[in-house]
Amino acid sequence: MSLFSKHARMYMWFCALIVVQTLSAHAATVTMSWNQNAEDTLAGYRGYCGETSYDYTIIDDVGENTRHTMANLEEGKTYYFAATAYDIYGTESDFSEEISYTVPAPVPSTQEPEPEPAQEGTIALETGEVSTDHNWTHVQFDQTFSNPVVVANLLSFDGTDPSVIRLRNVSPTGFDIRVQEWDYLDGEHAVEKIGYIVIEKGTHVLPDGTRINAGIFTTNTTTSFEKIAFTTSLNTKPVIITSIATVAGEDGVTGRIQNITADGFEYCMQEQETGNQAHATETIMYIAWEESEGSIGNISFDVKNPQDLIADEFQTIQLDSNFEDTPVLLAEMQTYNGQDPATLRYTNKTNSSFDLRAYEEKSLDPEMEHANENIGYLAFSIGSANVDTTSDTSTDDDTGTTTPDDGTSNIDTASMELGEITADNNWKTIHFSKTYTDPVVIASGLSYAGTDPSTIRIRNVSPDGFEIRVQEWDYLDGPHAEETLGYIVAERGMHTLQDGTRICAGTVTTSKTNSFGATTFIEELPSVPVVLACITSTNDTSAVATRIKNISRTGFETGMQEQEKSDQKHLAETLSYIAWEKSSGTCDGHRYEVGTTGQIVDQTFNTFSFDTAFDATPIFMGSLQTYAGLDPSSLRFDSLSDQDVSLMVEEEQSADNETGHTAENAGYIVFEK
């Protein structure tokens, strides 16, 4: 269509409504575009907008731009748009053909009530990867769900045409899935790999306290974001992954989210840029999963919001966990910094990393530059699980969860063992003097017979005993002098001494290196305890130290450190711990004292005196309680007597010879032999 101007040489070609975007909760933007004029005398264009036909209240001079956005338009109102051209003589064309558009009023989201979270119960979960093209593919579950939430939100990059993922027919036994190219394309698409997760609707709590919210709501909102509230608040800001799970509207559509909190998030849909942004009401399924790593049954998981800025080029994302096999991946932009319709695409997926980028559609123009976004990902091993979340799920894989105990016992009548041994760099077998069902073994704090920086390694913990050795850091030659080590064995669980002192013995498995994961005690303790921890598996042969911080009555944070000159990628290990309230008295026939030194232990030996007057030199165990100095370190002791001990923080020197260390607070347990 064309419209000739008052000046014979000026005319306007096409004015088209192309984009609706959100500015605030109740205002939208509308973008117009037109073909460029060819006259040499062209000076610019003006855009017009009003609520009445040919009665325009908004007049914007846009210069020589052929695209202009009208802002602050109210939802539910109809607006009329036109444009004119003007030349260097000041002559303005007549209006282009007028186009009207009604900004849709959002349909309030409908969220089905979710069951209250239960600390005791089961969690049904299934993960997989499907290969599909533009044709519908049916996925059959390995188990039957009651009210499944299905999320599939990351597309591989085998076909380069911009596309979205569509789901339909979600049922207790399966769902349909396909790749849908944006509407301006031909629709034929190559086979892509898409990961998916299925979980029962509701709020789930893992044994370590990690919370997962799986929900469903409906919406037709495309021009503004609406708030989606969790029925039950989470502990921390989660990673959100969503899927549009119906095809009420045939047009290509994707979802965008922003403003994630522990209480909910904001959501809207996007059609292609030249679409009219009026989409039928769809059902949206989402999973909100707190950052964590571990396992549920046979399914290992790694959930992370890595704060990486993903724009319009592929960037490599490192997984926190190293999976045995290439994992299932889901990811979504957690922000709305780039407003053009876009999805995430991945390539080069391995068991430890993948490449990711934001990929815009090109219905309006070939430009695909996208603002930086924050992304969150979910990585899973493939499997199907239906497990009791309160059962003992601790294994030598990366569960990241503390294993609960069956109950509380009086430690003076339960199985417990205190001992002292000597060990060098060779494995030494220790046999228990008592019988255990599920023993927790701790050996922490190394004497100073050999001066090479070293750590303690334990393996093959069984009801009958364990193996232990001193391991020098990997940059050293390995042989080490015999050192004196104290150790404690206790049944996993909560224990109470006769005076009411509480002790928690547990395990957690983690692959955290140079980062920390939260460990929650089986029960809250009456006071902040001393925590001693050590690695009790050898899934990875590299030397590794345990670091602890932020100890409270409910738990602590822990991570591993390899030597400074390493890649800090360590396989998942089992970490055992004993959390013992500060106290002194008698336990299992031994006089003991449990306490902390205060922030005084650094790279030089400093003497610390005990409060208890022991009759003879006691057995010493200790561990740093803080993370003030960041270099890989462990606690060494010397000159132990019945009254005091000398303590130091020993850094390894793989990267440099510097060993200065910020003063730390050390926790200790000393007991008579």
pLDDT tens profile 554-565: 899 998 889 988
Residues 525, 655: one domain? yes
Residues 273, 412: one domain? no
Domain residue limits at 245: 110-386
Q: Which helix (H) or strand (E) holds 174?
A: strand 174-181
Q: Which residues of 313-333 are buried (b: 16+ CB within 10 A; e: fewer)?
A: ebeebebbbbbeeebbbbbbb
pLDDT at 188 over 90: yes
Lowest mean pLDDT among 80-84, 486-490, 511-515: 511-515
Q: Please give the structure tokens belonging to residue 643.
A: 């009254």
Mean pLDDT, residues 258-273 taken together? 93
pLDDT at 271 over 80: yes
Distance (Å, whole) CA 567 – CA 425:
24
pLDDT at 338 over 80: yes
Distance (Å, whole) CA 19 – CA 69:
9
Mean pLDDT, residues 127-132 taken together? 95
Whether 397 is covered by a domain: the verdict is: no
Mean pLDDT, residues 164-170 taken together? 94
Residues 84, 138: one domain? no
Q: How confident is the model at residue 136 (pLDDT cuts 50, 70, 90)?
A: very high
Q: What is the mean pLDDT of the chain?
A: 84
pLDDT at 423 over 80: yes
Whether 402 contacts 143, CB under 8 Å? no
Whether 496 contacts 410, CB under 8 Å? yes
Higher-scoring residue by pLDDT: 79, 412 = 79
Q: Which of 27, 110, 28, 25 is nearest to 282 (CA)?
A: 110
Q: How confident is the model at residue 111 (pLDDT cuts 50, 70, 90)?
A: low
Whether 460 contacts 441, CB under 8 Å? no
Higher-scoring residue by pLDDT: 588, 284 = 284
Residues 16, 48: one domain? yes
CATH no. for residue 71? 2.60.40.10
Residues 199, 260: one domain? yes
Residues 94, 115: one domain? no
Order of strands across the sheet that contains 454-459: 428-431, 465-472, 454-459
SS3 letters across 622-641: EEECCCCCCCCEEEEEECCC
pLDDT at 533 over 60: yes
Q: How confident is the model at residue 69 (pLDDT cuts 50, 70, 90)?
A: confident
Q: Which of 364, 152, 367 is nearest to 277 (CA)?
A: 364
Percentage of the chain surpassing pLDDT 70? 88
Residues 363, 436: one domain? no
Radius of gyration of the chain measured on its C-alpha atoms: 32
Provide the domain count of the chain: 3
Distance (Å, whole) CA 543 – CA 265:
42
Residues contacting 349, CB < 8 A, separation 6+: 156, 326, 327, 329, 355
Higher-scoring residue by pLDDT: 91, 347 = 347
Residues 90, 207: one domain? no
Distance (Å, whole) CA 210 – CA 294:
10
Of 52, 69, 102, the domain-final residue? 102
Three-state SS for 330? strand
Of 70, 102, 134, the domain-final residue? 102
Distance (Å, whole) CA 365 – CA 371:
16
Residues 281, 363: one domain? yes
Whether 366 is covered by a domain: the verdict is: yes
Provide the pLDDT for residue 670. Answer: 93
669 vs 24, 410, 416, 649, CA distance in Å? 58, 19, 15, 17
Q: Which of 644, 640, 655, 642 is nearest to 597 (CA)?
A: 644
Residues 114, 97: one domain? no
pLDDT at 49 over 80: yes
Higher-scoring residue by pLDDT: 220, 196 = 196
Mean pLDDT, residues 184-198 taken together? 95
Whether 142 is covered by a domain: the verdict is: yes
Whether 401 is covered by a domain: the verdict is: no
pLDDT at 502 over 70: yes
Residues 82, 153: one domain? no
Residues 83, 132: one domain? no
Provide the pLDDT for residue 241. Answer: 97
